[in-house]
Amino acid sequence: MSAAKQPIIIKKKKVSGHGGHHGGSWKVAYADFVTAMMAFFMVMWIMGLSEDTRKSIQGYFNDPVGFNKNEPRSKSVIALSTATSGKPSSTTSGGKAYDLEQRALERIERKVQQEIANEKGFAELHKDVKISITDEGMTIELIETRGAVFFESGSAVIRPEARRIIGRLAPVLAKSNHMLVIQGHTDAAPFAGPGGNFGLSASRAMSLMQELRAQGCPEDQFKEVVGYGATRLQKPDRPLEFSNRRVTILIPRANSNGKPADELKERLADGGEPQAIDLRPEPVGIHAQAESSKS
């Protein structure tokens, strides 16, 4: 066969290994990487949540159907945690401040109880001192459960036994460096003295404040001294009972659980604010001259 009649043969070689960027294998690897990163950040997020929130998430994955039936409806896990716990989450700055303040109040409570228990002769009066920690703060209530216990009857004069208790309380309160609110309360029985029950409750609150100052609490530690009269009865169903007569030392919280608007509504619902009564004694001597020079 001559060269002119010989057929032309064209060979095509398929080269492999150089066209990988046009394939899909790298997409699979990238998807695995993104999935792993998502799982990593999910684990880190869950580790930063509170114990109650983690239990809620665990309950959902263990039994989604039962969880949805038994748990309250919530748009987010965080909202569910806040609703169940009753206080701010400990992961927030406000929640941490609340917890720190709570522990500080508990230390003061233990110290006050220890001081009262160490004083001999307080066996009877110890029953009339009620110490508690609430959302408002820590309260020390001196309650007239058996008639005239801390004050003379119908008077703001503190009895000698009560002065001994106040002498135990004052150093602890002074060292705490917390602000103090002194509140006076009466029962609903009419009082014929100046200012009625408001006057008596305010006078007793003022007497307690002055005694605490005399025992070591500085004046600038007192935030408020107020008399509520019979507007905040401890036992509203028994308005004439002795236990409604009391004076309270309140260490208010700096980090409150409630909102200011809610607190205002509660105070108004209790019967409004007490009347303002000027109980300052008439100035005498040098003090009288200073007052006259001011005017």
pLDDT digits (tens, 9 = 90+) for 29-43: 899 999 999 999 988
- pLDDT of res. 280: 44
DSSP code of residue 134: -
Band the pLDDT of 70: cuts 50, 70, 90.
low
- Top mean-pLDDT range of 63-67, 113-117, 224-228, 276-280: 224-228
> Which residue from 75, 82, 78, 69 is spatially nearest to 46, judged by alpha carbons?
78
Q: Which helix (H) or strand (E) holds 83?
A: helix 77-85
- pLDDT of res. 81: 42
- pLDDT of res. 118: 76
Does residue 82 register a pLDDT over 60? no
Mutual angle of helices 160-176 and 196-214, in 10-degree steps: 70
- Say which range, 35-49, 153-167, 247-261, has the weakest mean pLDDT: 247-261
Contact 96, 90 (CB under 8 A): yes
Pick the more confident residue, 185 or 94: 185
Q: What are phi and psi of 240, to 5 degrees?
A: -100, 5
- pLDDT of res. 75: 43
Sign of the alpha-carbon dihedral angle for 37, 43, 48, 52 = positive
Contact 150, 159 (CB under 8 A): yes
The residue whose two tokens read 């108004």 is: 268
